[in-house]
Structure formats: C-alpha cells, structure tokens
Amino acid sequence: MKKSLLFILLLIGSISVNSQTFTEIYRGDYYKIIGISNARNNTLNIYKNYDEDNLFIKSYGYPSDTDSYFLIDDALNVIKQYEFHKSFIEPDFCILNNKIYSFRGDIVWGNYYYYQDMWLLMYDSIENRLHKDTIMRFDDDTLKWTDLKKWLLSDRNIMISLESYPKSQQDGSSQATKLIKIDTLGNVLNTKIFYHKSLTVDFGEMPNHYMYAINGSTIGWEEMQEHCAVYYLNKETLEIEDSIKGYDVRQLTPINDSLFVFTFFGGSGYLTFDSMSVFTLMNINTKRITPVQSRKPGGYGEPPFFQTYSDYSLIDFRTPDSIYAAYIVRNSFSDYTDANIGFTNFNINGDTNFTYKIDYDNGIYKQIQGVKATKDGGVIIAAYSDDDDAWLIKFKPTGLISLTSIKSGDKESIKVYPNPAKDYIYVDIEASNFKQSDIELFDMQGKLVKKAKLKSKLENRINVSNLNAGAYTYNVSVNGKTISGKIIVGKVGL
C-alpha cells in the first residue's frame, strides 16, 4: 500500500497550480483519503457547521488572493464550493443560521503582535458583509491582548479568550488572560480578567459551569500544581466558584453533564509536543481522573512519540461510547518525517474500543487540523504538511472492537486499580495465550521508578508504598502489545 500511495501522491503533485479540487488518493478496507496538492502550500481547516451535518472546510495557501471553502458530506463528497477573496473575508469560526462568522482586527506588530481593536463580522454565503461590530478597542484596557481563541456556547452566544502582551521572554507565558462573552451581533455581555500565569488556555461548557483551563507550566508536578488550573466559572458573572489544580489541560471536550476528556501533558521536562501525553477523563463532581488505556507514552530515547499539541480540535464524538482522539505517531525523536497519523476510539469509562495507525511512506510530516466524528460510527481527519499537500481522511471501523488486532483478531486488555492508590496497586489481565508480563511505572520526568512481574491474569499485587505521592504512567506488554495509562499514588490534591 505504501508504494502505491507514494506513487499516487507523486501523480497528484503534477496537478495544475490553479486546481482547487479534491482528488482521491487512496481507498482501502477501513479508510479512504482525498486531497489537494499544488504549489499553493495548502492547508485544510475544519470549522463548525451548526446548521447541518456537513463539514465546512477551508483550503488556503500562498501566494493567492482567494481561499477555497467546501461543504463536504460524511462520505467526503463535495456538495458545494465557495471562493472568497482574502482581502474581503476570513470566515475562520463557524456557520450558524446560514451566516458565516469571523473575527478580524487591527494588529500592531513588534517582537510579537497584539490587537489594537477587534470586530466580529458576519457574512452571507456570497460574500455580502451583513455586520461589522466592534468588540474591543485598544484604549479600553491598560493591558494589551493577543492570541485570540473562540467558542460557540449552547445559548448561541460566543466566548472569546485573549492572553496579555508582552509575553515573558523566558518561557513565552502571559501574566493574565481575558474572557469576553458576546452575542452574534458583537454586543459585549460580560468580561473578566484572570491574573494567572498562562502558556495556553482552553474552554468547555458544562450544564452549570463554564470550564476555563489556564496552563502556566508543563514541567514538574509542583510547578503544575501551582500554575495549572481548570476553573469552574459562574455562567452569569464569570466568577470562579471552584477549581481543579495540577493538570495541563488541553483539548478540553465535554462529554456529558459531569465528564470531560482532555489531553494531559505530564510535565516530562522535555519539549511540550513530545511530552508524555495521554487522553484522560475527569469528573467535575468528584474531581476523579480516569486515563484512557490506549497508548504507550514516549520517554526520552523510547520511541514512539505521540504528538497531540494543537490549536485545532483533535477530539470529537457522536455517542459517549465512541469518542475519537487523533494524534501524530513519530517513530523517531529527531526525525519528523518518520511519522504516521494515529487515533484512538474509547468510551466514557476510559476503555479503548480500538486504536488505528495510518501509515504513509512519502517522507512528509503531517499535522492534524481537526477531526469530525461521523454518524456512521467513523471519523474524518484533516491533515496537511509543509510540502504543498493536504488530506481529508475518512475512517470507518468495520468490525473493529476493543484492542483487536486487524491481522490476528486477538484481544488484550488490562485493569489497574485502585486509582488513586495508597500502598498497593492490582493488575488484572484479559488476554488469550497469556503466560507472563511486566508492569513498568514511570514518574512524570519519564524515569523508570518500578518494574514488577505479572504472573497471573487476576489480582497481581504491586507494592507502591515506597513511591512519592504523585502521578505515574504505566506500561504493560501483553502478547506484543503495550497498554498504557496513568495511576495516582498517595494523597494528591486536585
């Protein structure tokens, strides 16, 4: 498959530079790929379409004075295509009530940039601007603001987040963040400044609270306890009513009334995008975390490495029993071209339904620009490279269940409990042809702190009373597969 896929990619590269149509690149039993490849340095972004169940895709590249937009169904058929002039419109947010919403503003450039003022713009589908409403002016605050993020709320209002400027020259952090709640006409409904060191922010909505994650450190458990928090905000006042401390929360995705899933970067001490990240569920009522049993975290010198850092949504679902989370699998710490696209499907209990990796052998490093779960149980992934090609991948899990190998059909799963643990943890193993295995425990710096034998399928007991209180990742190899997760040892405040 790899050779044929590379051959097709090379053919696609010969398409006219003026072409802005999708071409099928690969079709197999589980997935197909369509793509755009030309000299415009293309990227693809997935935006929210709240009016119907079709994708709203933006394809843009340089140099060009126009951007292409596509409505695409779950089978990757192009329903409609638009061409918007870049100088006129940048619909980079969502479609709602048959209108396209965008944010623009006057930017002041220095060592970095900040907004002098900002507007919410609304367009119809033929480039007619219906509204241009001022949200913020430079003179309104004593602080300058940068790094805009935005989310549509359940009441169809919009929440935007900004970070203060200038940022620290030492670590790139901001001294404060700002939330602004507006309606779809740009009227400011509420605003609040949080004086909290910030490297990244994320946001999610629960029935009774907004969840606002401010992450000020990714290195070391103590630093994360001090500088990382998820705040429970009053929906009317934006005041803090509660918090969860100590987790670098990104990709915050609400699942139901009490659970959200996120990517946890465990403070490994290495580069953020190569740290030991795992997908984790958190209950906002009990503040209990449940790691998703799916992937082996990468430590220094221990490939593979899983890159999940992105400003775009990498988690989506239709039902809470089928949650998709996408990532990049890098087989080498230093070689970015030796990489593949992977994803995990799991449920609200943290049990993995299946994992899958899409191999491509063209020496081009891909980045994920968004995911969309589809009503047929599959997922669409947008990916692009810096080498002029951009893909939409449609995957449909025909018969894939649990950690089932496509080739052998064998199933392996484990249970590590209790979590949190005090003196002992127990490991149960479900696997055919099981004889013996090991469990390895790593601290948040990636150091191996304990290794123990697992000789039976049930109630393997491991003494952890000599370990410091904190979070640990574990690896268990069963029949050639490595199953990983996270366990809390001792009394760890949340």
Listed range (173-177, 193-197, 353-357) with the worst mean pLDDT: 353-357
Indicate the pairing of strand 94-96 with strand 43-49: parallel
- Cβ–Cβ under 8 Å, residues 468 and 481: no
pTM, 2 dp: 0.73
Options 3.90.1170, 1.10.287, 2.130.10, 2.40.320; CATH of 102-395: 2.130.10
102-395 and 414-489, same CATH topology: no
Looking at the predicted structure, is the pLDDT value of residue 341 above 60?
Answer: yes
- How do residues 233-253 score in pLDDT, each as one tens digit? 999 999 999 999 988 888 999
- Nearest-5° Cα angle at 262, 467 to 60: 140
Domain ranges in the chain are: 102-395, 414-489
- How do residues 270-289 score in pLDDT, each as one tens digit? 333 333 446 889 999 999 88
Contacts of 131 (CB under 8 A, 6+ apart): 120, 121, 122, 185, 186
Taking residues 64-89, what's their average pLDDT? 72
Q: Does 91 sit behind a cis peptide bond, omega within 30 degrees of 0 on the bond before it?
A: no
What's the CA gap between 164 and 399, in Å, rounded?
A: 49
- Cβ–Cβ under 8 Å, residues 232 and 242: yes
Q: Quick one: CA torsion of 186, 125, 88, 66, rounded to 10 degrees?
A: 140
67 against 214, higher pLDDT: 214
- Cβ–Cβ under 8 Å, residues 248 and 259: no
Structure confidence at residue 226 (pLDDT): 86
| CA 246 to chain CA centroid, nearest Å | 19
Tokens of 198: 């910030």
CATH superfamily of 414-489: Macroglobulin (MG2) domain (2.60.40.1930)
Listed range (17-31, 136-150, 162-176) with the worst mean pLDDT: 17-31
